[in-house]
Structure 1
């Protein structure tokens, strides 16, 4: 408890709005903090992007898709001949690594367009693409949303319905809640609701490289690919790197799922450590959490 107590003193001194913390080491819950009781599902924001990556991995495993598939082939309703020719070059891997070539990020979960635009697929493909796919990193919620739609097109089920029996239920997350866009496609990029316990279960799944309670749900090879840097460092705002919808940590070895307002699943394989955090804090928390909470437990 000493490390957590010291961290909570810093939280109190700096008036940081943190709701939950769980620390697992060697598969045991060794420390925990709860500001709100009972534990409740909260929006984990862009942590959902990493969960979508898991869904992509499962679809790859089931041979529904391939990393080098061109995404336009999954949207027969769109007339791509009238759109930017760069779009036909975008692959699933480009979406995973945020290198689709978009000129701008487009709208995020709370931007005004979120409440006005109804057909998000058409909005994406009619946006400006100015970079050769695979050459320019730009973190956009829409890349992940389109991944969700690709899985839906390939499987015939929404991302939520696809992942529920294949992932959520297998790790003990019953009746998962994930919002859909106005056209009924799972958001993918955000608006997944999880408890702190459920975040830690996902962390355990990742720590064990796709294995949960003895079942290999997702291949080790995909987890390793997804959680290692895929981008030239100069192209990434975080100088530590980015994988398939996972951020690389300061040690350049471990990784995290990272969401707005301070949502984290931080996985440190060498230390057999999983630190999950849920917050409602406008200030950036990663550096504080890494230095004052994760490193001491390492």
Structure 2
């Protein structure tokens, strides 16, 4: 196993990054929201095919289910866009309840009818956080802390709301010019983003998913199965995870994230129990190299054969 940290948590303070520095996870947060839903399903507190309105009565769109929110097939518009138009004072932090209220009052037009298209939706996962609260009877952040982070000893994983109280190392997001990004009114919406974690804690999370500490194996298998409704990359989406293939033919589950100067990535190959975890606080295009890394770790059979022939040729010529 390799782990390492490079650069600064804060470019101006020159606060060196470590593998215990917490980063905003951006959309990698979605897999934790999905896990909360799966746990509540096993506790018989909800069902995937329940209507959202069973838990959120003032939700204005009929016929949308929890499963459709999980798999991005709800057709709902993105709250990060319609809030820009409908939220008048951006000095006031937006909450999940505020998002719901905006939808209830203004009813932004849906993109598609439910269950007809895959359309990536931050709104769906923000709503799932509200469903977790209604079904569990506790705040979303509390549920994650008590039901996931504490049992897995993820001591440096927390929500945005706890950021100000954290005394440990936390990376600051920067723009491409290495200028510090500041928080804005959208940061306080949870479910689609808003979690902070470290590479070490995320490795604990990865390893826990090979056990049944949180949910049964059958429940996880369903989460990684997908819907058969592919996106533009010809990839599927399960519950909080993208599903694709690498050159070796192995099926992988993964997710990336980009938010306010943070770039994140977590990939799992369940066949060989390998994982790639990358957290960055500078959007400098570093994730573009992940394609090369994936090809190196999971080469196509033809690549393996070519490498083998190259090594035979080099050995025959005395260069090895």
Secondary structure, aligned partner of 2:128:
helix
- Structure 1 position 55 matched with structure 2 position 45: no
**Of 35, 39, 45, which aligns to 1:64?**
45
- CA deviation profile, 1:85-132 (whole Å, cap 9, x unmatched): xx2200000100111122x32316x96877365611122342212532
For normalisation by structure 2, the TM-score amounts to 0.70
**1:122 aligned partner:** 101
- Cα distance per residue 1:230-271 (max 9 Å; x no partner): 1422xx133222111211133371111321153111100112
Asked if the contact 1:158–1:186 (Cα under 8 Å) also holds between the matched residues in 2, the reply is no
Relative distance call for 1:280 and 1:231 in structure 2 (3 A) is farther
| Structure 2 unaligned blocks of 5 or more | 7-15, 162-183, 299-320
Q: Displacement, 1:166?
A: 1.6
Write the distance in 1 (CA, Å) between the matches of 2:55 and 2:27.
Answer: 24
What residue number does 1:21 align with?
none
d(CA) in 1 for partners of 2:22, 2:156? 11
RMSD of the TM alignment (CA)? 2.8
Q: Which residue of structure 2 lines up, in the alignment, with residue 150 of structure 1?
A: 131
Q: Aligned to 2:251, which of 237, 253, 268?
A: 253
Which residue of structure 1 aligns with residue 78 of structure 2? Answer: 105
Q: Secondary structure of 2:144's match? A: helix
Maintained 8 Å contact 2:22/2:156: no
Q: Contact between 2:79 and 2:99, CA under 8 Å: does it hold in 1?
A: no
Tell me which residue corresponds to 1:227: 224
Contact in 2 for aligned 1:230/1:244 (Cα 8 Å): no
Which residue matches 2:142? 161
Name the TM-score, length of structure 1 as normaliser: 0.75
Structure 1 CA distance for aligned equivalents of residues 284 and 228 of structure 2: 26
Distance in 1 between residues matched to 2:277 and 2:118, nearest whole Å: 27
In the TM superposition, what is the alpha-carbon distance from 1:142 to its structure 2 partner? Answer: 1.0
Q: Does the 8 Å contact 1:231/1:243 carry over to 2?
A: no
Distance between the aligned counterparts of 1:169 and 1:237, measured in 2? 37
With over 3 angstroms needed to count, the CA separation of the structure-2 counterparts of 1:237 and 1:216, relative to structure 1, is: same
| Shift >6 Å, 4+ stretches | 110-114
Report the number of matched residues. 251
Gaps of 5+ in 1: 1-29
- How many angstroms does 1:60 deviate by? 0.6
- C-alpha contact (below 8 Å) 2:157/2:198 kept by paired residues: no
**Cross-structure match for 1:294:** 294
Aligned pairs for 1:90-101 (under 5 A) are 90-101=64-75
Partner in structure 2 of residue 136 of structure 1: 117
Deviations 1:152-211 (CA, angstroms, capped at 9, x unpaired): 0111111221122221111111364213598xx8601101010111111111123x0xx2
